[in-house]
A and B are shown apart, each in its own frame.
Chain A
Amino acid sequence: MNRFVFFVLMLCLMFSSVCYAGETPEIKTLPYNYLSVRSVPIKLSIAEEFTTKEPLNEGDTLKFIVRKDVYYNGKSIVKAGDIINGRIETIITAGMNGFPAEIIVDDFEIPGIKSTQMQSTYIKKGQNRCFWVYPLKWALTPIPFVGSLTNFIKGGHARIKTKDIITIYYYPEWL
């Protein structure tokens, strides 16, 4: 009898271990890994001056010129003078009360580098006129309707000049 009880106990133990093995969570592998902080800066400038006055759509590409040779572990990544494309992600038009226009460029395409290995969002804003438009508005408010006229003052256009240095970062150890 004791042997039988012992046998049943052993069976239970075996099954429970099987159950636990079945419940062991699988190791999840993410498609990204930001453990490494090692980054390589890549300096660019735009090939032709661009302003938000120009009629371009979001999604259009802009051409950029690499300013300096970039090496990683002795291997050349890009050379000075290389042309790379960046995409206009979003254009925010200039608004009333001095709100500036804004342009967001991203998705720079560098041969041999995956987009997941880059931190490349570049934002350029126009002149922010809110600093003086709002005080002016408040100062004019006592005179009926005059304060509202400042609504028609628009912010500055965003302009990426050829002399502007744009730095994007390549993280070689990111997935």
Chain B
Amino acid sequence: MKKIIAICILLLCSNAVFASAFLEEQNAIQSRIDRIGTDLLNYNKIPKRIVFTYTTKTKKALLSTDKTLTKRQVIIYDGLYQSVQTDDELAAMLAHEISTAVKSYSGIWGGALDSIQVALGSKKFETVADKRAVDYMVHAGYSPLALIIFINKTCPQKRTDRFSRHNLTSKRLARIYEYITYKYPQYLTDENYINNEYYQNFLLTSVNNRKLLEEKIQTKSTKEVKYE
């Protein structure tokens, strides 16, 4: 009898220990997200309220509303967070969402019309959000190449984007690379990233697109490049 009581007490205690360890872990992740997110907002002097929420839930289906646009609440899902390794990569993920949230503040009806446009014209605004994310990262002292790494690691490559709400990942990456090449070329020689296996993987998979960009630079063209 005494043994059973002892085991029950032990189980109860271990449960409490596990629960507190889980809470501490969640708290640590939330704190990290808040710190980097707030850094991005402050360094970029974004005079709008945006909050960051970490959740272990999985992302709902297509019909769920995007809280980044409606509530200016950036939701960081556990599944995506698992791919984040460095602070730069976390900043990349948050900067992209911040850019969308900032857009939802502009325009008439408290930004309602612009939010609808972002939701409907998601391909175009995805590119815009990527570019703004690069700016936000640079202003806050993070390397914009982390955005390339993060997208390269997390976004799958579809066959075509003709009927999709999202751009082909290779196009997104090429446009980000082009944007960095024109605006922040000093980051392209960052040794930390040249020696990064994920960045090297991007360089390997983007040879054709980078050739197109080189042609654009050599001919001093200002036309939009049609990336693959």
| A→B interface (CB under 8 Å) | 30-32, 34, 55-59, 89-90, 92-93, 95-97, 99, 116, 119, 123, 125, 128, 130
| Total contacting residues, chain B, CB less than 8 A | 22
B163: chain A residues at CB < 8 Å are none
Q: CA of A123 to CA of B132 in the docked complex: distance in angstroms?
A: 13
Main secondary structure of the interface of A (DSSP, over half): loop
Is B53 in contact with chain A by the CB < 8 A criterion? no
Do A89 and B135 form a contact, CB below 8 Å, given A58-B179, A130-B113?
Answer: yes
B45 touches A119 (CB 8 A): yes
B128 touches A92 (CB 8 A): yes
Distance (whole angstroms) from the CB of B62 to the closest CB of chain A: 20
Q: Which of A59, A89, A93, A128 contacts B124 (CB 8 A)?
A: A93
Distance (whole angstroms) from the CB of B130 to the closest CB of chain A: 10
B43 touches A56 (CB 8 A): no
B107: chain A residues at CB < 8 Å are 125
Residues of chain B in range 187-226 having any CB-CB distance to chain A below 8 Å: 222-224
B182 touches A59 (CB 8 A): yes
Q: CA of A59 to CA of B183 in the docked complex: distance in angstroms?
A: 5
Q: CA of A145 to CA of B224 in the docked complex: distance in angstroms?
A: 30
Q: CA of A99 to CA of B128 in the docked complex: distance in angstroms?
A: 14
B106: chain A residues at CB < 8 Å are 123
A90: chain B residues at CB < 8 Å are 128, 131-132, 135
B47 touches A119 (CB 8 A): yes
Render B81-121 as a binary contact track against A, CB cut-off 8 A, 1 for contact.
Answer: 00000000000000000000000001100000100010011
